[in-house]
Amino acid sequence: MRLCMISLDAVAQPDADRLLGLPALSALAAEGVFCRNVKTVYPTLTYPIHASLLTGCRPLSHGIGHNQPFQPDTLPAMRKWYWCVGDIKRKTLHQAARERKMSVASILWPVSGKNPYVRRNFPEVLPLPGENAALKMLRYAGLWILKMEILYGKRRKSILQPDLDDYAALLCEKLYASRRPPRVLTVHLVDCDAMRHRYGTDSREAHAAMERLDGRVQRIMDAVEKAGLTEETLFCVVSDHGQEDAPRGIPLDRELQAACGARAQSLGMGAYIFADDLTAAWRALDSRREEWGIARILGEEEIRALGGPENVRLAVDAQPGCCYIDRDGETRGEHGFGLDRPAARTLLWLKGPGIRKGMELKEADLVDIAPTLARALGLSLPDAEGRALEEAFQ
């Protein structure tokens, strides 16, 4: 058995009908199992969710509670991200596969830098101002990515979207055309997320990005077919979160610091609150709900029930149309909202050996995905909090 896992960033339940109208994704749904009601994890940010996709655990357990560590006094452009797999505290699918002597490749997957279990790795690592992009990628990825850059780098128009996703699809094609195609491949496609942040959730650019995503899924499936591996490959296409338009940007960290000395770490349409005096911070938030666009204040008990990170004891969800910004400027599409929004219901396609055909699952939990894939591949994820979706199997 082989696994080809493709993550479509920033599409969700509200996009299901549009995506099912596209050729590759509609065929996957018809030939396998589809679910449009997958409950994602809190917070609805890319890095915590992708750690959950690999571990079957929520952020409280796997330790990735945000895209970035809390760095309140560092300029936003200079903040480090959770780039290294060593930040994940639980066993991943990559590790489980490698322990069973399976070859593993990964393209643009978050929190996968410096990964000893992935020989062919192109992690999602961004150069900060003043850093050399090539040297940084070598440190986090290894020599394979240098070889790919020498062979195919001229075919990549830029490191921006949609060009980067096109390059990711090209690398997937080359992996399957190689003498040793990977037994496990994970690839993260970011085009739609970039377009929605830049132009808005229901923009023409976002719709075009969905069509491009469908085309890249088809390219990868065609590469598997050309390699003669379709009959032994489990295809898993997932999404992490949707987005909502949030034209009102509120500098919550600045406002909260002035009001009571507390600090806010933006999630987008939500924020973590850090304070020595949580009672004073709660009072400040409660007294200025409308001014600060607060829909809900979450205490420690609620955050733990959601599986939120252990170092967060107070948080807020934003009202529709509002988001929390670290710098002045226009905002468009955002996420980071709570789990009660339609865009917090994500998508799952499964197709391959032992999977039912033409079945739609009523519901699932995002932490069920890793145990389901582990079950199909005969791998062990002893820490997983989700369950294998047995109803998806024949």
Which domains occur in the chain, in start order? 2-244+339-392 (3.40.720.10), 248-331 (3.30.1360.110)
Q: What is the mean pLDDT of the chain?
A: 97
Average pLDDT over residues 188-195: 98
Residue 299 to residues 61, 78, 279, Cα–Cα distance (Å): 18, 30, 10
User: pLDDT tier at 353 (50, 70, 90 boundaries)?
Assistant: very high
The percentage of the chain sitting over the pLDDT mark of 70, rounded to a whole number, equals 100
Q: Is the pLDDT of residue 220 over 90?
A: yes
pLDDT of residue 331: 81
Within the chain, strands assigned E span 2-8, 33-39, 104-107, 120-122, 184-189, 233-239, 244-245, 248-250, 263-266, 270-274, 294-298, 315-318, 322-324, 333-334, 345-351, 359-361, 364-365
Q: Is the pLDDT of residue 329 over 90?
A: no
Q: Is the pLDDT of residue 130 over 80?
A: yes
pLDDT of residue 374: 98
User: pLDDT tier at 80 (50, 70, 90 boundaries)?
Assistant: very high
Q: Is the pLDDT of residue 328 over 90?
A: no
Q: Is the pLDDT of residue 249 over 90?
A: yes
Contacts 24+ apart (CB under 8 A), 337-340: 337/44, 337/244, 337/267, 337/268, 337/269, 337/270, 338/42, 338/44, 338/270, 338/296, 338/298, 339/39, 339/40, 339/42, 339/44, 339/306
Host H or E run for residue 283:
helix 278-287
The percentage of the chain sitting over the pLDDT mark of 90, rounded to a whole number, equals 98
User: pLDDT tier at 347 (50, 70, 90 boundaries)?
Assistant: very high
Q: Is the pLDDT of residue 311 over 80?
A: yes
pTM, entire model: 0.98
Range of lowest pLDDT (182-191, 323-332, 335-344): 323-332
C-alpha count within 13 angstroms, C-beta hemisphere, residue 165: 24
Range of lowest pLDDT (237-241, 248-252, 328-332): 328-332
Q: In angstroms, how far apart are the furthest CA atoms of the chain?
A: 64
User: pLDDT tier at 182 (50, 70, 90 boundaries)?
Assistant: very high
pLDDT of residue 380: 96
User: pLDDT tier at 56 (50, 70, 90 boundaries)?
Assistant: very high
Q: Is the pLDDT of residue 330 over 80?
A: no
Residue 320 to residues 11, 54, 245, 247, 329, Cα–Cα distance (Å): 18, 30, 8, 10, 18
pLDDT of residue 327: 81
pLDDT of residue 173: 98
User: pLDDT tier at 350 (50, 70, 90 boundaries)?
Assistant: very high
Average pLDDT over residues 92-110: 98
Average pLDDT over residues 279-308: 98
pLDDT of residue 121: 98
pLDDT of residue 27: 98
User: pLDDT tier at 318 (50, 70, 90 boundaries)?
Assistant: very high
